[in-house]
């Protein structure tokens, strides 16, 4: 219960408020005036005393960093500090790379025993071995490379990669003696064109094993004789030698086109070698998987031969034909035949 008294002081009015102790409450440490249900008390005055605001706990550094000292008195009350929840920290993995300071810059060096260091060492060893095996590459022309320097023990390993230990001897002999050698004989050019077409859908080994059958079927690839085959001869040739009828017809048609090339250019080989200016194309492939299945030159030849009436002369077949007759030397640079084909004399015209 509060009572009000008025006093005059210095020409003014002073209001004196008496606050009953029953109407004073504390909320959050502060005095708050509340009604006391109009109850009458004898003691109408109270001593108003405001308690100081609570003191925030002070963090005091003790031995344990997770402990807070919240006691402001002499007694020490230790309250454990609740750590905030945090995701688990993954263990740190030491990087196999070190930074070495060198002339105001940092140079990355792999730690010995790391995967990167082992890989670098392996690559370096491979490069050294490769330079020893191919000492001429990038320094001198492959044609000038001394083939005699390649010993017989390393020739087997340095053949074109499509020659494997499991390759048939007849195929190995074809690679070592014929493939890539310049050909200027019209009958042999005609033969290799027929064999190239025949190996489509098959393989060179199977075709080479039947090479003599093809020679017998087409009269030694004499274009003048084959061009005279009539329908009866075509059918009998197909049945006797087991050659597809359409393929026999294609050979007869191509023989007629060859005779036309002889009249126009003087010979079949002059027509073909005119596409490369009478000089074999010597490539510098490091591996057989880098050799394309066709080139711009084979596409040019194919278009012209199709225009002149030849059959089965797509750019892929013509590129294989160019390799067979030495129009292009596609032996890999590590193969001994690469140099030998470039320096070997052409087959008799």
**106 in Cβ contact with 99 (< 8 Å):** yes
Q: What is the signed CA dihedral for 235, 185, 256, 215, rounded to 10 degrees?
A: 0
Helix (H) / strand (E) containing 109: strand 105-110
Return the closest-CA partner of residue 156 out of 12, 348, 334, 346.
334
- DSSP-derived letter for residue 151 is -
Inter-residue contact 255 to 312 (CB < 8 Å): no
Neighbouring C-alpha atoms within 13 Å toward the C-beta of 288: 10
C-alpha 102: how far from chain center: 34
Q: Determine if residue 184 is labeled as part of a ligand binding site.
A: no
Quick one: 336 exposed, middle or buried, by C-beta within 10 A (0-12, 13-18, 19+)? buried
Nearest Cα neighbor of 22 from 3, 4, 2, 5 is 2
| 175 annotated ligand binder | yes
Cite the annotated binding site by residue number. 160, 175, 331, 335
Cite the annotated binding site for Zn(2+) by residue number. 160, 175, 331, 335
């Amino acid at each position: 219960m509060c009572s009000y008294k008025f006093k005059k002081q210095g020409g003014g009015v002073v209001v004196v408020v008496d606050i009953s102790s029953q109407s004073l409450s504390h909320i959050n440490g502060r005095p708050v005036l509340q009604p006391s249900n109009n109850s009458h008390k004898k003691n109408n005055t109270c001593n108003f005393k405001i308690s100081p605001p609570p003191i925030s706990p002070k963090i005091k550094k003790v031995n344990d960093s997770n402990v807070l000292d919240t006691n402001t008195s002499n007694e020490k009350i230790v309250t454990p500090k609740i750590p905030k929840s945090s995701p688990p920290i993954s263990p740190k993995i030491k990087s196999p790379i070190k930074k070495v300071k060198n002339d105001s810059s940092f140079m990355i060096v792999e730690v010995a025993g790391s995967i990167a260091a082992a890989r670098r060492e392996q690559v370096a060893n491979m490069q050294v071995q490769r330079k020893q095996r191919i000492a001429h590459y990038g320094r001198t022309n492959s044609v000038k490379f001394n083939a005699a320097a390649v010993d017989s023990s390393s020739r087997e390993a340095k053949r074109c990669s499509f020659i494997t230990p499991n390759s048939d001897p007849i195929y190995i002999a074809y690679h070592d003696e014929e493939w890539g050698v310049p050909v200027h004989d019209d009958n042999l050019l005609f033969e290799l064109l027929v064999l190239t077409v025949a190996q489509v859908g098959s393989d060179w080994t199977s075709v080479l094993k039947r090479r003599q059958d093809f020679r017998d079927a087409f009269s030694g690839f004499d274009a003048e004789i084959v061009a005279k085959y009539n329908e009866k001869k075509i059918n009998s040739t197909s049945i006797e030698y087991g050659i597809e009828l359409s393929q026999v017809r294609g050979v007869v048609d191509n023989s007629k086109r060859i005779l036309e090339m002889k009249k126009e250019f003087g010979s079949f080989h002059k027509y073909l070698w005119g596409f490369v200016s009478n000089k074999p194309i010597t490539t510098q492939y490091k591996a057989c998987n880098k050799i394309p299945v066709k080139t711009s030159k084979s596409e040019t030849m194919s278009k012209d031969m199709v225009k002149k009436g030849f059959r089965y002369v797509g750019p892929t077949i013509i590129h294989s034909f160019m390799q067979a007759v030495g129009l292009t030397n596609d032996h890999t640079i590590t193969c001994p035949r690469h140099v030998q084909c470039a320096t070997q004399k052409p087959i008799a015209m």
